[in-house]
Structure 1
């Protein structure tokens, strides 16, 4: 998976994905305060990467659709929804964030979602994915803002596409050479500079 060109003015490397969320009953003591919870299940690429105009971001998003999974994961009472056409866009000035994702133990998608009062499930607000990203920096900012953020591993084809982008646009800042200890200025116990003379004594210790 790769894009062949990169238009720096109006178009950005992008890929459309579908987000799968699960609503499952809460059991145990927590059920006294919360009857159900939402869990991110998967992020599925819907096709090959392409160059997208930033002006059409979000226009292709479809409303949630309830689906029946092949494997309910041992939760027969859980219900699943798929959110199609969520767009993931890469930006050159966030190459460091993608690099940090790639160098993590498991490169992943992050999904920022919120409860939507206008979309009710069993009389309660449903989970609505807001943004899907591959940027470690994006996820960090959302978490710092106390937003709901979940993650799932990215498939190998997406990791390869992201790696190609990082290889092209990420520049590792060179490490500054550490000054050798011998070059550090000498000071006395009061922090004052110490002057060392290399002049040889013209006379012996006894003097003549």
Structure 2
């Protein structure tokens, strides 16, 4: 599937920040947004950028991450985004995923990751995918510690 990401940029939201970016929205992109990034609105204080045509792929080996996202109670899109090193007033989404585990790996790598709520049709389709492809690993029996008295073992 393909998605479009809207990033809002605020100019000097506090006296300590020149710019603040917010992943405002992620929506399915069925080709209506075109293929080029563009400014939707700029009032001098807030600029809204649209980044269309970003791919989102589902992989069987990430099924546990999708399951964890769905079972969190508030399923979300995870967006890894970057700020231009030479011009900190520019930012863009790099990758979008539905996997909780993949987003965790990005965070471990010190990447910027934000999320947006997942809409019902995508949530339902993701649930169908998880139902078809996710099988939890069976729990392994833990051997009792031989140095603990049997009545103290749990």
Provide TM-score, normalisation by structure 1.
Answer: 0.63
Structure 2 counterpart of 1:138:
102
- State the shift of 1:38 in Å: 1.0
- For the aligned residue pairs, the C-alpha RMSD in angstroms reads 2.8
Structure 2, gaps ≥5 residues long: 150-154
Structure 1, gaps ≥5 residues long: 1-14, 49-60, 70-74, 189-208
Structure 2 counterpart of 1:191:
none
Higher strand share: 2
Q: Do structure 1's residue 37 and structure 2's residue 20 form an aligned pair?
A: yes
Q: Based on CA coordinates, which of the two structures has the bigger radius of gyration?
A: 1
Q: Do structure 1's residue 18 and structure 2's residue 4 form an aligned pair?
A: yes
Aligned residues: 147
CA distance 1:105–1:26, shift in 2 (3 Å): farther
Please give the residue correspondences for 1:1-208 in structure 2 after superposition, counting only pairs within 5 Å.
15-30=1-16, 34-47=17-30, 62-68=35-41, 77-116=45-84, 124-177=88-141
Provide TM-score, normalisation by structure 2.
Answer: 0.83
CA contact 1:65–1:82 (8 Å) conserved in 2: yes
CA distance 1:174–1:76, shift in 2 (3 Å): same
The Cα offsets for residues 54-81 of structure 1, whole Å up to 9 and x where unpaired, read as: xxxxxxx933211139xxxxx9821101
**The residue matched to 1:171 in structure 2 has which SS?**
coil
